[in-house]
Chains A and B, each alone.
Chain A
Amino acid sequence: MVKKYLDIIKKNNKKINAILEINKDLKSGKGKLSGKAIAVKANINVLGMKTSCGSKVLEDYSAPYDATVISRIKDAGGVIIGNCNMDEFACGWSGETSAFGPAQNPSAPGYITGGSSSGSAAAVAAGFCDMALGSDTGGSIRNPASHCGVVGVKPTYGSVSRYGLIDLSMSLDQIGPLAKNVFDAALLLSVIQGKDENDSISEKSSGIDLDKVKKVPKNLTVGILDFRISDKNIQELIDRKVSDAVKAYGWKTKKIKIPNIGLAVATYYPLVYVEFFSGTRKLDGRRYGKKIEDAAGPEVLRRVLGGSEITKAEHAGRYYNLALKAKQMISEDFAKAFKGVDCIVSPVTPVLPHKIGAKISVEDMYNYDVLTIPYNLYGNCALSLPIGDINGIPVGMQIACDRFEDEKMLQIARAFEKL
């Protein structure tokens, strides 16, 4: 099976640009993932492979150890087939900020894959692997999964160890799976989740019962997020899918209003700028790589230089401290909302993907993740499920459940997938 994938990669990767490096150590073992090929975003350490983060800064950096998620995959018999292209240091929404060129969208040629886990989503969509790992700070797994027509899961914050992940924003980052279908994503998540002593925020979770994921849940109330987006066609696809589920399974629906959701983007970026600036101080060109200020591209520099500026000005509590307060308000809104519904559905992105290289304002780009960011702020689980296409371009539906209800979320997604 792995040989088959290697042949496909050899044939098509020049065009798709999803895989940056093929692993030389392709040993398979026995376990839940026996024989499965898994591609890994290039910000997750795989012993001996280049953890470049899609950047010239770390292009020669060879990982000295396996991240916890990688050790768990290897212990379960999985094969790490290669590492994937990505937005530089995960600073991007489209896959275009990679220093190694953007990955191409296999499901919609000429359009962006979405990001920042661009290569991971493209690798799954192009048939280069069974599953992939990405990381999601504000939508970086769900957004490319939506654009490439694959399943992408952001697990509950703290349920999957981040040990060995090169961080973008430590209070929001989460590693998660991308796969061709819900069951494969659930399978990979069941292997990588669980408490890890090497990650201080890691918590014990209840686990994923794969048999339960296959069963359609009964007596469900689906919350429909009350949020107006500019592309009506996307919302219509979501509404149709929910209506089909209501008819087929007898589920109920309820409109959900989140009072402070309009503050989510303004809350997210000050947190990311400051935490990214802090996290990149180690990239000073002494122990490894090049100095980040000398070798990074424009979006990374925007966050590093911006983070530096607002860190200096933080004594007045105008940025990070204010954002922390807003984060708490948004979290309280969601905690209350999830008391009345089993899940909340919405589009993943408010617009369809643009053509690679298209000109877009920074403000519009920063609003790209307006529907995914809120769940990173709350720290609950959310996923993107492919539900159809508009003129051949895949569209994903976001399904979110409360914190540590990952199993229920996968069960609901699987029921939607069956329709």
Chain B
Amino acid sequence: MDFLWHKVSEKEKETIKKQAKEIMDGFSKKLSKVGELKESFIERDECERDESDTAKGCEIDKRKMFENAPKKNKDFIIAERKSW
């Protein structure tokens, strides 16, 4: 197969899904001999960030977010669809 981009049909999607599962099963088989390892944890001293500035929001962000929404009414994004 070549790897050039093309639009994928529903039938091809099914083939791709099966193929992906087969690839993953092959990898899983290869990794099956990996033994038990101890869990490791990372402790961080600084684990909180300062969000005091972001609470104000940014007008450019808001405008751009709204422009990007595919479906919207006057001042809100339509987030639910029948299929959701």
Q: Which residues on A are within 8 Å of B, measured CB to CB? A: 47-48, 60-65, 88, 92-94, 96-99, 101-102, 197-198, 200, 263, 265-267, 269-270, 273, 284-290, 293, 296-299, 301-303, 305-306, 309-310, 318-319, 322-323, 325-326, 328-329, 356-363, 365-366
CB atoms of B16 and A298 under 8 A apart: yes
Q: How many chain B residues have a CB neighbour from A under 8 Å? A: 47
Query: Of B31, B61, B77, which is within 8 A of A287 by CB?
Result: B77
Q: Which residues on B are within 8 Å of A, measured CB to CB? A: 1-8, 12-13, 16-17, 19-21, 23-24, 26-28, 30-32, 34-37, 40, 49-50, 58, 60-61, 63-65, 67-71, 77-81, 84
* Complexed CA–CA distance, A269 and B24 (Å): 8
Closest-by-CB residue of B relative to A288 is B68
CB atoms of B65 and A287 under 8 A apart: yes
CB atoms of B5 and A96 under 8 A apart: yes
Known: A273-B24, A305-B16, A309-B17. A322 touches B31 (CB 8 A): yes
* Complexed CA–CA distance, A309 and B22 (Å): 11
Give, as a whole number of angstroms, the nearest-CB distance from B23 to chain A.
7
CB atoms of B24 and A99 under 8 A apart: no
Closest-by-CB residue of A relative to B79 is A286
Closest-by-CB residue of A relative to B40 is A328
Query: Of B5, B20, B27, B68, which is within 8 A of A266 by CB?
Result: B27
* Complexed CA–CA distance, A97 and B1 (Å): 12
CB atoms of A65 and B61 under 8 A apart: yes
* Complexed CA–CA distance, A93 and B40 (Å): 32
- Give chain A residues whose Cβ lies under 8 Å from the Cβ of B20: 273, 302-303, 305-306, 309
Q: What are 6 A-B pairs at a CB distance below 8 A? A: A197-B50, A269-B24, A286-B79, A297-B5, A298-B5, A325-B37
CB atoms of B3 and A365 under 8 A apart: yes
Give, as a whole number of angstroms, the nearest-CB distance from B80 to chain A.
8
- Give chain B residues whose Cβ lies under 8 Å from the Cβ of A102: 4
- Give chain B residues whose Cβ lies under 8 Å from the Cβ of A309: 17, 20-21, 24
